[in-house]
Amino acid sequence: MAIWKAQRTLLIVGEGYAEEAFLNHVKRLYAPRGCGLSVTIKNARGKGARHVVDWTRRQIANVDFDSVASMLDTDQDWSEPVAKQARTAKILVLKSEPCFEALMLRLLGQSDAGETKVLKKRFAPYVNGEPLRAENYATHFGKGLLESRRNQEPTINTLLKLFGA
């Protein structure tokens, strides 16, 4: 009879499709099958920080996870009451300040100045023009880059700690 081994469970909710793709990329790098960590990635489909936290709370109402996190932008709807709501629900917030594309550009050593639309255009070439596909993050956002830049980006450091890295 096979020995059953309990796995640690982790839920990470991304604000949108780009966050979901990046999180799936990180999952492929740090949580291979049989590693003892079961990671669930979900997409809150935008609508601001308050919606992402509310959506995450609804996801954990009926399912128990060992750890829960939400990756969200701070440029829309982010406030102290939303942060308190997340803390109360024991949701770790992975803040993309001011937006996901700015966080990714900083990881690459690029400037994060400008409006969100401009940042999206500047970020697109690094993911083959398709930030919604997890495999497009492999070229520029490998394990080496994430590990080397984790001390400059607290959000990435916290994310990697969730994966046990």
User: DSSP assignment of the chain, as one string?
Assistant: -PPP---EEEEEEESSHHHHHHHHHHHHHH--TTSSEEEEEEE---S-HHHHHHHHHHHHSSS--SEEEEEEESSSS--HHHHHHHHHTTPEEEEESS-HHHHHHHHTT----S-HHHHHHHHGGGGTT-TT-GGGGTTTS-HHHHHHHTTT-HHHHHHHHHTT-
Q: In the predicted model, is pLDDT for residue 154 greater than 90?
A: yes
* Across 12-39, average pLDDT: 95
Contact 53, 83 (CB under 8 A): no
Residue 25 predicted with pLDDT over 80:
yes
Distance of CA 87 to the CA centre of its chain: 17
pLDDT band at 48 (very low <50, low <70, confident <90, very high): very high
pLDDT in the model for residue 2:
66
Token readout for 153 is 């980006």
CA separation for the pair 155, 150 (Å, rounded): 8
The answer to whether the CB of 93 falls within 8 A of the CB of 66 is: no
pLDDT at 146 over 90: yes
Q: How far is CA 29 from CA 23, 86, 99, 144, in A?
A: 10, 27, 23, 11
The model carries a pTM of 0.94
Mean pLDDT of 125-152: 95
CATH code linked to domain 8-162: 3.40.50
Predicted pLDDT at 165: 77
Query: Cα–Cα distances in Å, from 60 out to 9, 89, 91?
Result: 12, 9, 10
More confident residue, 1 or 69: 69
